Structure 1
Amino acid sequence: MHLSYLDGAALLSGVIVGFVLGLIGGGGSVFATPLLYYFVGVANPHVAIGTGAAAVAVNALANLLGHARAGRVKWACAAIFAAAGSGGAIIGSSLGKIVDGQKLLLLFGVVMLVVAAQMAIKRPPPQGHDFRLTRENAGKTVPALVLIGLVVGVLSGFFGIGGGFLVVPGILAATGMPMIAAIGSSLVSVTAFGAATAANYAWSGLVDWPVTAFLVAGGVVGGVFGGRLAGVLAARRQLLTQVFAALVAAVGIYVIYRGVLVLMKP
């Protein structure tokens, strides 16, 4: 089988994204759009965003299955958050499609800096308690899940990212469940938001499916190696996160720099 440069670059990009996801456990999807646009050579920023969103949905689903088998998903809370956020993702992605592609990339670079800052700030994980949605707490919990899910979904759809770095804190704020349960539950939303965003972009012909396939295939391979290395380097996880945050910030600055140059052209 002969691979073109585009195919090979998409496959390698998937390996990078999957490796980071497996190694760090989140945040790697923010690399998808910059890699597709600047490295793979996808000419249209909107196609890069739509294609990246499709790959993010598949990768999140693959990770979700493992968490579900381990019993780390609070399905009722996850379903409410995902349902509300999916509507938000449709709204956000619809807005994203009408924004100039270069301006959207510039804003994406700003988001990468926010992600980097959020990951770089060292905080002790909250001491959550085992949480179950009941009639007694539904009156307070459900509105919080719906409101936060809607806002996060809009942002996820607008930028074409999984939004896990926002979903996890959102679920924690609404429920106070243990961190590991929030991470597992968040993948339901990341899958749903990515699928909703990709479907909206695909409706407008803004998803390159062959590139998506190579991106997903590379992500599977990268995820395996990243996961294995994560076990070896478990004691240095905080250092890995700091290094990753610095890398995200560097790429974000580059995206902003390129975006400003393009927008300054007469």
Structure 2
Amino acid sequence: MMLYVGLAASLLVGVLLGLLGGGGSILTVPLLVYVLGVEPRTAIAMSLVVVGVTSASGAVLHARAGRVRWHTALVFGAGGMAGAFIGGRINPLLPSTALLLLFASVMVAAAVATLRRKEAPPRADSTPAPEAPTLPVPRVLAQGMAVGLLSGLVGAGGGFLIVPALTLVGLSTPVATATSLVVISLQCAAGFMGHLGHVQLPWALTGAVLAAAVTGSVVGGRLAGLVSPATLRRGFAVFVLATAAFLLVAQAPAQVRTLVARAGAWPWLVAGTGVGLPLTLWRLRLVRQR
């Protein structure tokens, strides 16, 4: 029964990837660990496969539309691959609890970045933005290595960090989003190579989750024009924060978890983090605008 629930959730992750152009992959590790019962270290390696292949399929569609900037993608991706490989090798040195706590922190950062992200103003024509004339190669390589290190460690694609970094070097948001999918697929491949030798993947389950996610990404891509991106991102960010709250409480000491369970406080903790933090950020944003 849980297998079918997990595959349905994988389909949803793919739909979110198609709708948001990235970001939905942050849910892959919690899905594998808490729904499908995969050991955390194995789940991180599985996530790199699922996220990498799903991102590559999305990148192909964007490349056909001329939105991928290959020079930028390869420079950023080179740093990302180096960092991801190192992260994959460091991964076995950290306990599973520390990895899940780090992943929960990444989820919070991703949700906050999603809430703070602004819509790019529409272009006057449909012509893609030109490649940035001067690419700061050392800075882009360093940024790529930092994001890749995080990706290799915890299995997150890192699109919430890559897209803003690419916009800072002169790419428009749609082009940065498309280019980030190439970067994510490259660093996921390198991160997975870093995990080889100390993780054995259940390939049948990995293939099933991957097939569901890729199918969902195609569906999400077709639905993208029917949903308000801003509304979708806000709802997604709240859901990610709620999931992060669940992860943090789940990794708390046994005595704390027992007290929380006896008090029936699980729903309140999750709801408080998932709803209270976005409302606080929204209020602070209003104050800054005055």
TM-score range, shorter chain: 0.7 to 0.9
**Alpha-carbon distance in structure 1 between the residues aligned to 2:60 and 2:221:** 15
Q: How many residues align?
A: 253
Aligned to 2:65: 70
Give the root-mean-square deviation of aligned CA atoms: 2.2
Provide the C-alpha distance between the structure 1 equivalents of 2:93 and 2:178, rounded to a whole number of angstroms.
33
Mapped to 2, the partners of 1:155 and 1:11 lie a distance apart of: 26
Q: Deviations over 1:68-91 (max 9, x none)?
A: 000101111110110111001011
Identify the residue that residue 183 of structure 1 maps to in structure 2: 177
Q: Given the alignment, which residue of 15, 37, 45 partners 1:19?
A: 15
Which amino acid in structure 2 is aligned with residue 99 of structure 1?
Answer: L
The correspondence of residues 51-200 of structure 1 with structure 2, limited to 5 A, is: 51-125=46-120, 130-132=129-131, 137-138=134-135, 141-173=136-168, 175-200=169-194
SS in 2 for 1:260: coil
**3-state SS, counterpart of residue 203 of structure 1:** coil
- Normalization by structure 1: what TM-score? 0.87
Q: 1:260 aligns with which of 241, 252, 261?
A: 252
Gaps of 5+ in 2: 258-290
The farther-off stretch of 161-170 and 89-98 is 89-98
Q: Which string of whole-angstrom CA distances, capped at 9 and with x for unpartnered residues, describes residues 207-228 of structure 1?
A: 3222210111111222233233
Mapped to 2, the partners of 1:239 and 1:111 lie a distance apart of: 22
Q: Give the % identical residues.
A: 34
Q: Is the 8 A contact 1:51 1:211 kept in 2?
A: no
CA contact (8 A) 1:13 1:36 kept: no
Q: Structure 1 unaligned runs (5+)?
A: none
Give 3-state SS (helix, strand or coil) of 2:68's partner. coil
Tell me the TM-score normalised to structure 2 length. 0.81
Alignment partners' CA distance in 2, 1:79 and 1:22: 22
Do the aligned partners of 1:51 and 1:206 also contact (CA within 8 Å) in 2? no
Q: Which has the higher relative contact order, 1 or 2, with Cα contacts under 8 A spaced 6 or more apart?
A: 1
| Greater radius of gyration (CA) | 2
Question: After superposition, what is the alpha-carbon deviation per residue over 1:44-65, rounded to whole angstroms, capped at 9, x for unaligned?
Answer: 2100111111100000000000
1:18, 1:221 within 8 Å by CA — same for their partners in 2? yes
Q: What SS does structure 1 have at the residue aligned with 2:251?
A: helix
Q: Deviations over 1:89-135 (max 9, x none)?
A: 0112222221101121012111111111111124243799944366x
- CA distance change for structure 1 residues 247 and 133 in 2, over 3 Å: closer, same or farther? closer
Distance 1:109 1:263, change over 3 A: farther
Does residue 250 (structure 1) correspond to residue 242 (structure 2)? The answer is yes
Amino acid in the other structure paired with 1:227 = G
CA apart distance, 1:162? 0.8
Correspondence for 2:195 among 197, 201, 211: 201
Q: Does residue 4 of structure 2 align to residue 8 of structure 1?
A: yes
